[in-house]
Structure 1
């Protein structure tokens, strides 16, 4: 027997709303919208009937009973023929019995369209970006459930986003930088759908970011890098492989995603030629003697890959162990915003090292060693100096050395005059 119940699309308000039949097909509820509208005050949800206050209430209630019986008969007949009824079958029957074409199904929710957009993005976005988009879906789904919201384009306005940011801060417990990233991804989706004509609401253009400090990425000094290089890891080959890959990144400035995807055919005589995974830039990266020796050591060991690279998560776990074994214990302070509060945290450097540390190490040591910023940008693929400047960290020793050279240059003419 086909169980059919009737519900209002919207149970509050003074204006008319659509009525739909909830039909349970194979244990799942399917919505069959009827060409009937009703003011919520004229509907008795408990008795599943129109109230007497509705004009022609008796005839309309008879119609609902008739529709329920006919839908059940049609589903039973199809089941006897070995063909289970589908929602489209029932919609067509409703249209026939009411003398009108069955109304179109309700528009898909925003979360459904967001999931479809993410699938489309897989063509030209990196796996890490897709993962970030899916994290956004998880946060939105949880927030909508807590607030009992059916997310539609019209409801995702500035007020919604302010509440969503508060939820991410207070309930999820993430910092402002991560909150801003989620809002950025949401805006990208809404803007894409706006450009495609899927909606006409421009609320997303007024979404505001929270105040956030730029994320600080830990780097290694030349001495610390050498300490990693000289660390004896032969008894632990799985850590030795991770250390070698990390040092290769420190020597080339490549992102982890590019080293992970590096193939032997991209290795030339003293250089790499590759298209970056994140920005699709074509780069010609020179190879230092250390980088070449690492490539030579693992040549032919991994079919299809130039280096034995593990997943980003596993690599980060290994790096913290390696850095601890190398005693990279310098107290290192990082800061982040949580709401209006600026939080500073000081931890040993080995706890903060990750795959991106290598790229920042390359940029820092290259600039400290006298390489021009334009040359560094050509190697790393940075588009402008402002972006590169985020990676620039000058050690106290370098500052002291350069200041001593400055003083010597300033004093030389005076010393000649004094003589």
Structure 2
């Protein structure tokens, strides 16, 4: 009956068609307003945004509320709150639910008739339900990517428990976008514009193809969030998949011989600061811990014969048995007090990476490592001494590669490292197979 009335009102003769599905998103949010560059936080209008088929309609709800009294996750006024007109949360929220239901019913009627409406038809249908009262015409709210990027970081970071490293990655994405085009709009992000962005990352930011692909993936994450929020109506990014040549990343680790070489190296008296760096790195090599987990390791995490930790990156609880090498390092510092009751003398990641390269060079960890990577279509081959590629994460890789090469089953190693599937372990398993094959060749030399 409702749709028949709509048909008469809109001057459209509807026929019976198979039921279609109109994807839509109905969002209630506070209007973004500023005064002298400062966000307004009191008596802010509540708006209803309807997003469908790359279209957006903004409705006023007639209600206002303070930002502090609005629950952005639930898209409702917080229980027990009132606005300047003494309208209660229950009263406002009831009307918001009513508006939501009315919009949903309008779309359901269009779906039944197999008819994709225009924005004007949806607006007119909604206003018709309100005694023909014409929706107040307002200038459309235009959002820019850089304006909502901080909101994205705050919301997703909180919901997903981002690490500091993830925050830094998305801060870099924002910086690249701003440098690329300060006035960037969502509507402009079509395939040609996205291609220009890829070229900017390659030519101006001097990125490798693998890094560019990561940047595009991060950008898509952001744009999907913007689409969900109703900020972005342009979904060209979904089909944007630049063809960039790449090669698998080289896994840098120490062989068992190199590990012993580093372990037994006599550090000069003038460079004793490298001793603690070596101890922490060797602990990673003999436990498989990430730098962040070693940095966070407390004396209270050490048990009789094992350590028990909750990882920083995945919040997973791990039990890792101690071997003679890792136990010796812990015993060395068991009576030394460190800030925060830490178990080991861990310095900053950046400083430790610098010192590891210095230590590796002194210890003669200089096997030439060949790498191939691409910048655009240009292939680049490099040869670098292994010490120059050492970093804290090489400790974890060293543990995995040597454990597999020793014949320890992958599923056991995964219990120690916290890997959830074999896909992440495959590069290490391939390396272990190579090590075993090379070991077998030694028989041919007898």
* Whole-angstrom distance in 1 between the partners of 2:257 and 2:380: 29
Work out whether residues 234 and 240 of structure 1, in 8 Å CA contact, stay in contact via their aligned partners in 2: no
Asked if 1:332 corresponds to 2:369, the answer is yes
Partner of 1:295: 330
Q: Which residue of 1 aligns with 2:439?
A: 401
Q: 1:373 aligns with which of 384, 392, 410?
A: 410
CA shift at 1:106, angstroms?
5.1
Aligned to 2:253: 219
Matches of 2:300 and 2:38 in 1, distance apart? 55
Decide whether aligned partners of structure 1 residues 253 and 29 sit closer, same or farther in structure 2, where only a CA change above 3 A counts: closer
- Structure number with bigger Rg: 1
Q: Secondary structure at the match of 1:194?
A: helix
Rounded Cα–Cα distance in structure 2 between residues aligned with 1:119 and 1:322: 39
What SS does structure 2 have at the residue aligned with 1:154? Answer: coil
With 105-114 and 243-252 compared, the bigger mean Cα shift is at: 105-114
Quote the residue 2:167 is aligned against.
130
1:104 CA displacement: 6.6
Aligned to 2:222: 189
Match of 1:159 in 2: 192
Q: Distance in 2 between matches of 1:226 and 1:110?
A: 52
125-134 or 150-159: bigger deviation:
150-159
After superposition, what is the alpha-carbon deviation per residue over 1:176-217, rounded to whole angstroms, capped at 9, x for unaligned?
A: 111111111111111122233433432222121423222213
1:309-343 CA-partner distances (Å, limit 9, x unpaired): 11211111000000001011111112212112232
- What does residue 119 of structure 1 align with? 154
Question: Which runs of 5 or more structure 1 residues have no equivalent in the other structure?
Answer: 1-24, 31-100, 409-419
271-280 vs 367-376, greater mean Cα deviation: 271-280
Q: Which position in structure 2 is the counterpart of 1:203? A: 236
- Partners of 1:395 and 1:346 lie apart in 2 by 23
Equivalent of residue 175 in structure 1, options 199, 202, 208: 208
TM-score w.r.t. length of structure 2: 0.64
1:29 to 1:276, Cα distance in 2 relative to 1, 3 A: closer
Q: Following TM superposition, by how much is the alpha carbon of 1:173 offset from its aligned partner in structure 2, in angstroms?
A: 0.6
Does the aligned pair in 2 maintain the 1:154–1:201 contact within 8 Å?
yes
How many residue pairs get matched? Answer: 310
Do the aligned partners of residues 231 and 163 (structure 1) sit closer, same or farther apart at CA in structure 2, a change above 3 Å counting? Answer: same
Q: Displacement, 1:289?
A: 1.4
1:13-59 Cα shifts (integer Å, max 9, x gaps): xxxxxxxxxxxx99x899xxxxxxxxxxxxxxxxxxxxxxxxxxxxx
Q: Is the 8 A contact 1:121 1:130 kept in 2?
A: no
- RMSD (Å) for aligned C-alpha atoms: 2.8
Change (3 A) 1:301 1:233: farther
Q: Distance in 2 between matches of 1:122 and 1:375?
A: 32
- Offset at residue 285 of structure 1 (A): 1.4
Scaled by the length of structure 1, the TM-score of the pair is 0.68
Unpaired runs of 5+ residues, structure 2, are 1-34, 40-135
